[in-house]
A and B are shown apart, each in its own frame.
Chain A
Amino acid sequence: EPEVTQTPSHQVTQMGQEVILRCVPISNHLYFYWYRQILGQKVEFLVSFYNNEISEKSEIFDDQFSVERPDGSNFTLKIRSTKLEDSAMYFCASRGDTENQPQHFGDGTRLSIL
Chain B
Amino acid sequence: AQSVTQLGSHVSVSEGALVLLRCNYSSSVPPYLFWYVQYPNQGLQLLLKYTTGATLVKGINGFEAEFKKSETSFHLTKPSAHMSDAAEYFCAVSDESYIPTFGRGTSLIVHP
Q: Which residues of A contact B (CB under 8 A)?
A: 4, 6, 31, 33, 41-45, 48, 56, 91, 93, 95, 100-108
Contacts and interface: CB of A to CB of B under 8 A. Distances in A.
Interface of B: 34, 36, 41-46, 49, 51, 90, 97-105
Nearest to B41: A107
8 contacts: A41-B104, A42-B105, A45-B99, A45-B100, A100-B49, A102-B49, A102-B98, A105-B44
| Interface of chain B: mostly helix, strand, loop or mixed | loop
A103 B36 CA distance: 10
Contacts of A100: 49, 51
Among B34, B99, B103, the one with the most A-chain Cβ atoms within 10 Å of its Cβ is B99
A108 B38 CA distance: 11
A111 to B, nearest CB: 14
A33 B56 CA distance: 28
Contacts of B42: 107-108
B98 A103 contact: yes
A102 B43 CA distance: 14
B43 A33 contact: no
A42 B102 contact: yes
B44 A91 contact: yes
Contacts of B97: 48, 56
Given A6-B43, A103-B100, 18 more contacts: A4-B43, A33-B99, A41-B104, A42-B103, A43-B44, A45-B99, A45-B100, A48-B97, A91-B43, A100-B49, A103-B46, A103-B98, A104-B46, A105-B43, A105-B44, A106-B43, A107-B42, A108-B42
A90 to B, nearest CB: 11
Contacts of B98: 31, 95, 101-103
Contacts of B101: 45
Contacts of B45: 105
Nearest to B6: A42
A31 B90 CA distance: 21
Contacts of A33: 99
Q: 6 shortest A-B CB distances, which residue pairs?
A: A105-B43, A105-B44, A43-B102, A107-B43, A42-B104, A102-B46
